[in-house]
Amino acid sequence: GNSVTQMEGPVTLSEEAFLTINCTYTATGYPSLFWYVQYPGEGLQLLLKATKADDKGSNKGFEATYRKETTSFHLEKGSVQVSDSAVYFCALSTAAGNKLTFGGGTRVLVKP
């Protein structure tokens, strides 16, 4: 079956620090990969995605590269802001029903 493993949080950083959240996956077939963000009290929003090997998804200064050889999709941001404090979810989907399989989420707290 499909599964997603991401690093446990919370991750606490100072403003302008570098952020990395590791994500690895196992999947049957060729998945699409996603990072979703959940701000306090809100639903999930798509942050970025990649649909094939070596694709780089990017948005709002965040980046992640689809690495088929290491089955990874690590999220990075070079300089975080307080407004980036949220829970980040790595997820994958395969063709069957376009269903998402989520990792457990990583809470990020950025302090001024």
Contacts with other proteins by CB under 8 A lie at: 4, 32, 34, 36, 42-46, 49, 89, 93, 95, 97-100, 102-105
Of 17 and 58, CB closest to other proteins: 58
- The distance of closest approach from Cβ of residue 68 to other proteins in the complex, given in angstroms and rounded to an integer, is 18
3-class DSSP state of 56: strand
- The distance of closest approach from Cβ of residue 25 to other proteins in the complex, given in angstroms and rounded to an integer, is 13
Quick one: CA dihedral 81, 103, 50, 19, positive or negative? positive
Under a CB-based contact definition with an 8 Å cutoff, are residues 45 and 22 in contact?
A: no
Of 68 and 99, CB closest to other proteins: 99
> What is the DSSP secondary structure assignment for residue 28, as one 8-state letter?
S
**Distance of CA 112 to CAs 9, 37, 38, 75, 107, Å?**
19, 20, 20, 21, 17
- The distance of closest approach from Cβ of residue 79 to other proteins in the complex, given in angstroms and rounded to an integer, is 26
- The distance of closest approach from Cβ of residue 98 to other proteins in the complex, given in angstroms and rounded to an integer, is 4
Amino acid letter, residue 68: K
Of 9 and 72, CB closest to other proteins: 9
